[in-house]
Structure 1
Amino acid sequence: MENKSLTALVSAFSRAYHAQQNQIKIFDDQLARQLITDEEFKNISSNMSQAIAFFQPEFVGSQEQALREIVDHQLSPSPLGRAAFAEQTLEVAATLSARQYLIFAAGYDTFAYRQPKWATNLQIFEIDHPATAADKRRRVSALQLDVPSNIHYISADFREPDWQSSVLACPAFDPSLISFSSLLGISYYLSKDVFKHLLSAIASLVPSGSSIVFDYPDEQTFTSQAGERAQKQVMMAARAGEPMQASYSYSELEEMLEEVNLLIYQHLTPAEITEELFKTYNDSQPSYKIKAFDNVNYCLAVKR
């Protein structure tokens, strides 16, 4: 997880690029660009545009056109879609009864610094590996942003068996309050047993009625039936030394969640994600349509 900051940085880059390039957005993260230095933005842009030969060998166009193609086709669908889904469902939860928002593997998430009025009653907890958490705080400090009083930073290594103690030790955390947890971009890189244990551990921290949102790869991800983007993503992860480890059918996921006292409340397939979350943007940008990532589903689960 010490290396996850690079993955998180690329995710922030994709959100920043999308916000800069479009008036109508799938997910509007205006602060993401501020967290990335000019040098980092330039280097990521260059590296990604050069990757066009791997992703689309037959592509013909300028470096800037190649960058847009890579961002829209490969990089941004998942970070944009899952963030939009998470914050939409969070708003509903906060309007009803949720009073705590736990962001696991927070990376360079900016919600706490651009929080809307409906979030003022939430206590927000950014939970991440110490190295990534420290880098995030350094970047925020350099920007001299006003840090809201309802944000709390918790350093925790999810590989450690007692990581929950770090959450419980935070004076602002109240295990009796209905909570909303986001666990985005993580399930891919954990074995099924480890992911199940993580969900169980989160569920043990919060009361009934609390919810968890996450994205996950479906059962075809590691097969020849997977989409081309998914197949290349699996290859890239393996080459980077962070191989994807698990995928789930809906029935398998449902059974696993029931075993840790969670029930599926909302579930979106790629086609549903494109239709429900991307339609407004796609209608506004017919030349730059974005399609939800192959073989990736979104799930909102509620503790019984």
Structure 2
Amino acid sequence: MRIGFPMQTALVTAAIRAAHQTHDDGRVFRDPFAEDILGPEAAPLMMSLPVVPGYHVLRFLMTARSRYAEDALAAAVERGCRQVVILGAGLDTFGLRNPYRRLGLRVFEVDRPSAQADKRRRLLRLGPHLPDGLTLVPAEIGSDDLAAALAAAGWQADEPTFFQVLGVAVYLPPTTTFDLLRFIAGLPQSHVVLDYTVPPLSQSPEGRAVTEATMAETAAGGEPWLGFFEPAALATELTRLGLSDIEDLDLTALRRRYLHEGGPDDGEFGPHVLCARRPA
């Protein structure tokens, strides 16, 4: 199981978040460090974004899923959670923005060693040391033991933990994603936000076109999509693993929540984001 992908994916995702700040005034998700973390690469990357398949859909989706995850984290913090693990962290900037630092929230970012070396270089360009409460955990999940890698970094397995798993599941075989969810479900008072995509044949024609174009683009870059899930089957498996309070939002539901756009459901567009937790 690998979490942490070629830097191109992380760069594009960060550029999309930065573009949202510029073009949408951060309407859905405020990230004042989105452009800073990119540095000199920001401008050329943002200029190249319109050629990305489904760019306008992605610009909303990437920011809405981050907003959703951090809204869920806020609720977890209210319930006493003081650890967050960001899997496949890439150039995520929550460690810079952590509004719960004074409450003692610790942030563990997990990604492959080369990605973490790049992230460390970028963070140190913004300040003389890493932000307080942020730990970069270099790990190749699948060849490395995730629990051991986190424990070595100071993570406490017996304390409530919030797991953010965004932009990860599509790159993993479904069995690998279920192994990860099984690990999370086995922890006391764990919380997880996961995004995923339904199979192309279950999507609307418009959604399928964007998905297939994106799949071709990422496969050409050496990042094939491997994992798709049907919402009902995924919810059944999460329940079987012992996770509850499951909320699953598709793109239409996200638009209604964060853009207050009403109207009928326009069909399955592919992306979903869900939240679940293990009760105390």
Q: How does 1:103-252 map to 2 (within 5 A)?
A: 103-117=86-100, 120-144=103-127, 147-160=130-143, 162-170=145-153, 172-204=154-186, 206-207=187-188, 209-220=189-200, 225=205, 227=207, 228-252=209-233
The alpha carbon displacement at 1:96 in A equals 1.4
Structure 1 distance, partners of 2:61, 2:267, is 7
Structure 2 distance, partners of 1:241, 1:157, is 17
| 3-state SS of 1:181 partner | strand
Letter of the 1:272 partner, please give it.
A
Whether contact under 8 Å (1:94, 1:118) holds in the other structure is no
Q: How many residues align?
A: 273
Counterpart pick for 1:260 among 235, 241, 254:
241
Structure 2 distance, partners of 1:292, 1:78, is 16
Whether contact under 8 Å (2:203, 2:268) holds in the other structure is no
Whether contact under 8 Å (1:238, 1:244) holds in the other structure is yes
| 3-state SS of 1:165 partner | helix
Whether contact under 8 Å (2:203, 2:269) holds in the other structure is no
1:296: which partner in 2?
A: 271
Residues 225, 23 of structure 1: alpha-carbon distance in 2 compared, 3 angstrom cutoff: closer
Residues 3, 18 of structure 1: alpha-carbon distance in 2 compared, 3 angstrom cutoff: same
Letter of the 2:9 partner, please give it.
T
Q: Which whole-Å deviations, capped at 9, do the CAs of 1:17-43 have from their partners, x for residues lacking one?
A: 1112333511111101111132x2243
2:23: which partner in 1?
A: 21
1:288: which partner in 2?
A: none
Give aligned-pair identity as a percent.
26
The alpha carbon displacement at 1:167 in A equals 0.8
Whether contact under 8 Å (2:5, 2:223) holds in the other structure is no
Structure 1 distance, partners of 2:15, 2:69, is 19
Whether contact under 8 Å (1:91, 1:118) holds in the other structure is no
Structure 1 distance, partners of 2:200, 2:64, is 20
Residues 117, 191 of structure 1: alpha-carbon distance in 2 compared, 3 angstrom cutoff: closer
Letter of the 1:302 partner, please give it.
R
TM-score w.r.t. length of structure 1: 0.80
Residues 107, 157 of structure 1: alpha-carbon distance in 2 compared, 3 angstrom cutoff: same
Larger CA Rg, structure 1 vs 2: 1
Letter of the 2:270 partner, please give it.
N
The CA RMSD measured in Å over matched residues stands at 2.7
The alpha carbon displacement at 1:293 in A equals 9.3
Structure 1 distance, partners of 2:268, 2:130, is 33
Q: Mark the runs of 5 or more structure 1 residues left unpaired by the alignment.
A: 56-69, 284-290
The alpha carbon displacement at 1:102 in A equals 0.8
Q: Which whole-Å deviations, capped at 9, do the CAs of 1:39-97 have from their partners, x for residues lacking one?
A: x2243234334x27xx5xxxxxxxxxxxxxx74x1442222011000000100110112
1:47: which partner in 2?
A: 48
1:101 aligns with 2:66: no
| 3-state SS of 1:32 partner | coil
Q: Mark the runs of 5 or more structure 2 residues left unpaired by the alignment.
A: none
| 3-state SS of 1:178 partner | coil
Letter of the 2:218 partner, please give it.
A
With 265-274 and 18-27 compared, the bigger mean Cα shift is at: 18-27
Whether contact under 8 Å (2:200, 2:211) holds in the other structure is no
Whether contact under 8 Å (2:242, 2:278) holds in the other structure is yes
1:63: which partner in 2?
A: none
Structure 2 distance, partners of 1:222, 1:157, is 32
